[in-house]
Chain A
Amino acid sequence: MTSRRNFLKTMPAALLALAPASQWVQALEQRKDDDTLTIAYPKDIAGWDPLNMDPLQSVIIQCVFEQPLALAADLSLAPSPVQHCEWLDNHCQTLQLIFRDNVFFHDGSELTAEDFRFSFIDRAKEHPATLLAGVWSLIDHIDTPSTSEAVIYFKYPMATAKAMLADIPAFILPSDYYQKQGGSDAFARRPVGSGPYRLTEYQRGSRIVLEAFDHYWQGKAPVKRLIFLISSDSVARAAMVQARQADIAVDLSVRESLKLGSETGLQSLIHPSTAMVMLQMVNKGVFTDKNVRLALHHAINKDAIAKGLFVGHATPVSVPAGPGMPGYIKDFEFPFDPDHSRELLAESGYDETNPLTIRFYATKGVLPNDLEMAQAIQYMWRQVGIQTELQVLTQPMIASYQQQGKIDGPLLQGWNPAAGDPGTYSGYLLHPALSFALWKSDDVGEKLYPLMAETNDKVRIEKFREFDRWQVKQGYSIPLFQRHSTCVAWTELEIQSRLTGLINPYRIRIS
């Protein structure tokens, strides 16, 4: 039994223990602010001077910086710092941009045509080994006749320039501020853009805290504070949204998204995106035989893969475009026909006694279920008598293999130009002059080059549809799926679904 003496002795100690405990509870019970949005995000940015990035990273970058052109949810052009854009010639080499007034950077300076010129010419020259320099290497020079007008002169026709000005990496940085800071590294420590948010805290690989910019030209963002919690682990991201440590979790697996979406208070948003999955073909060895290429395509049951691996949340496609995208062809379908596949192989002299053996390249963990997809395709090919040696490569290895010309079989690739312009799919992946292309042939060049000089977008896109129909029938590429983007959020959030597959935090509303 506790004596009075013992009680008096232990009381102060108990009180001392309780004092921090109450603070502990207080610390844990920090209520969610209505004006703060926390996003569990899979990827950190490469740096605050946006020279290199992928589409996922561009979501964060777009909060702080702006592109000359912007995309609406349906891929049409949305209001952007450039209010007018047109070709001044008839072969896509001279592009005029008129900038709107009253677009301000976070340091208070006004965005001008000179900032655009500096961002696309000077920075690219200073950093030649970057995506910025690579994508815009066709720019010869940029004239700025006034503070609100820029004219881009391209070395060669670049009909995709408008699409690329709304894609990555095409961000406008303040020229004076950048140079006053003393270069890229110093700028990256104190970045300034004209986007809806300004950076307040950055911890590499961990978190990014952004505050709404009061003088944003489209109006102050409704969400005052935006926090990105970075975790490459999808289990951790799912756990964060489940435990309410994040309001939104991005890029979970379809199954996980559906499971979480069925829980009370959570919504699962799964929408088709502009991200495509395809097999890039190579014109080497047996693949120079059209029958072989078409046999490979006819043997793949895309519906079965979509259902089996993505619970139906991947759209099988016959050209590198899905429904809603400009390059989509509604009445064209490349059929799954294993019998015809066997016939084509037999025509080329391959049968059970002389099976076709090929190498097949894929990644693991770069795309959702990429290795599983490759294994399913490997199985389907085996069913028609094609033996495959599957090689799993990392992304740096793919780049290195491509540079060395070591890829000698189909490559399972993801491709995601946000703007969805067909010129940025097969227009790049089959362009004989670009290192992206694995299949390089003269007949492709003959058909492709005129398209890259077509100034009328409607005509160009119609011609690209014809081109894609032709190149798929030739077996130059095997389009597989239109990927679906995934996002799980609490139901009080209104999140606009966008065909780019990327969220736009500026458009998120808390109801």
Chain B
Amino acid sequence: MLLPPNGSADELQRLRAALGLDQPLLQQFLIWLKNLLHGNAGLSIRSGEEVSTLILSALPVTLQLVTLAILIGAGAGFISGVLAFRYRFTPVRNSLEVTNAMALSVPEFLWGILLMLVFGIGLRVSPFFGEVDPRLMVEQQTGFLLIDTLLSGNPAAFLNVLSHYLLPSLALALAIAPTLMRILYSSLNQIYASEYMRSARLRGLPERRLLLVHALRNAVLPALNLMSVQAGMLIGGTLLIEKIYGLQGIGSLMIDAINNQDLPVIQAVALVYAICVLMINQATEWLQHVLDPRAGV
């Protein structure tokens, strides 16, 4: 892969030695591990660039995408869950259930294509390729384009970036919102059957206060638990969504690396995925502890 098709056997041998591929397997692994602990994930076989540089430039894209997807997904899930429960004896609940079932039955990459077809090509109300309009120049400061546009005081560019992230985030969010809604709905159902809710109602507290203050705080904990699992899956979902929407995040990086059999990049990206999932789990546990100090960290 690193040599041209007419590369000689000598060149092949030299390259193997330079890459350490002539060492025993265990030694190769120890060298890789040692380098990794020193922040050196090796060189990309395809481009020859440092893998850590490739990951650092791609990671902000994925983090922005995942963050927006979590915000939209969690927002939609919580709001629809509360609405469905508040209006549980009305057609509102049924219509939300139907929407929910539809959202769940379509995988996120298909949502990605459908949203692109409807809003990008059909209605032409949203861009669907890349992070920002190529005619807009944004000075890179942090690598997070949403932050960079704000730092450079360019609201039009900020909205342009946001509009580019809207459809892919929405496609990802549709994978988490329905399950959140269902969990929240059933949690609220259970909590409404509990003693303290009956007492509160007997004390004459208004229904809105009962739901939003007394029930929701407790009902949110199982939903939060679920979110940590969903967020892990969300990161996996970025693989195809990033590719479809031309976002150069770690999902695209991984797919390109797989296509090119670029093993150092594949290893490093897989590691980044694992770290991201662990960090999300940790953050969720911390949040649970904040909301309910009885839950140990």
Cα–Cα distance between A232 and B257 once the two chains are bound (Å)? 13
Cα–Cα distance between A434 and B4 once the two chains are bound (Å)? 12
Check if A134 sits within 8 Å of B163, measured CB to CB. Answer: no
Which residue of A28, A36, A128, A436 contacts B125 across the interface (Cβ within 8 Å)? A28
Cα–Cα distance between A203 and B58 once the two chains are bound (Å)? 10
Cα–Cα distance between A227 and B137 once the two chains are bound (Å)? 13
Chain A residues contacting B125 (CB-CB under 8 Å) are 28
**Nearest CB in chain B to that of A241: its residue:** B121
Taking the closest CB of chain B, its distance from the CB of A431, in whole angstroms, is 10
Chain B residues contacting A207 (CB-CB under 8 Å) are 130, 134
Taking the closest CB of chain A, its distance from the CB of B138, in whole angstroms, is 10
- How many chain A residues touch the partner (CB < 8 A)? 54
Which of B154-162, B175-183, B204-212 lies on the face that meets chain A? B154-162
Which residue of A26, A130, A402, A436 contacts B156 across the interface (Cβ within 8 Å)? A26
Which residue of B6, B133, B252 contacts A436 across the interface (Cβ within 8 Å)? B6
Taking the closest CB of chain B, its distance from the CB of A360, in whole angstroms, is 20
Instruction: Decide: A231 near B246, CB < 8 A? Known: A23-B155, A206-B131, A239-B120.
Output: yes
Chain B residues contacting A403 (CB-CB under 8 Å) are 7, 9, 12
Question: What is the total of A-B residue contacts with beta carbons within 8 Å?
Answer: 129
Instruction: Decide: A129 near B57, CB < 8 A? Known: A23-B159, A47-B47, A230-B246.
Output: no
Check if B156 sits within 8 Å of A229, measured CB to CB. Answer: no
Check if B6 sits within 8 Å of A434, measured CB to CB. Answer: yes
Contact with A along B1-36 (1 / 0, CB 8 A): 111111101011001000000000000000000000
Check if B246 sits within 8 Å of A236, measured CB to CB. Answer: yes
Chain A residues contacting B163 (CB-CB under 8 Å) are 24, 27-28
B124 within 8 A of A: yes
Chain A residues contacting B128 (CB-CB under 8 Å) are 236, 239-240, 243, 245
Contact with B along A37-49 (1 / 0, CB 8 A): 0101000001100
**Nearest CB in chain B to that of A129: its residue:** B3
Taking the closest CB of chain A, its distance from the CB of B46, in whole angstroms, is 8
Which residue of A27, A134, A206 contacts B7 across the interface (Cβ within 8 Å)? A134
Instruction: Decide: A27 near B246, CB < 8 A? Known: A229-B130, A231-B129.
Output: no
B256 within 8 A of A: yes
A204 within 8 A of B: yes
A233 within 8 A of B: yes
B189 within 8 A of A: no
In the assembled complex, 28 residue pairs joining A and B whose CB atoms fall closer than 8 Å, in A order, are: A23-B156, A24-B163, A27-B133, A38-B134, A47-B48, A129-B4, A131-B4, A134-B4, A135-B4, A137-B6, A204-B57, A205-B253, A205-B256, A206-B130, A206-B247, A227-B135, A229-B134, A232-B256, A233-B243, A236-B245, A236-B246, A239-B129, A244-B124, A394-B261, A399-B1, A399-B5, A434-B6, A435-B5
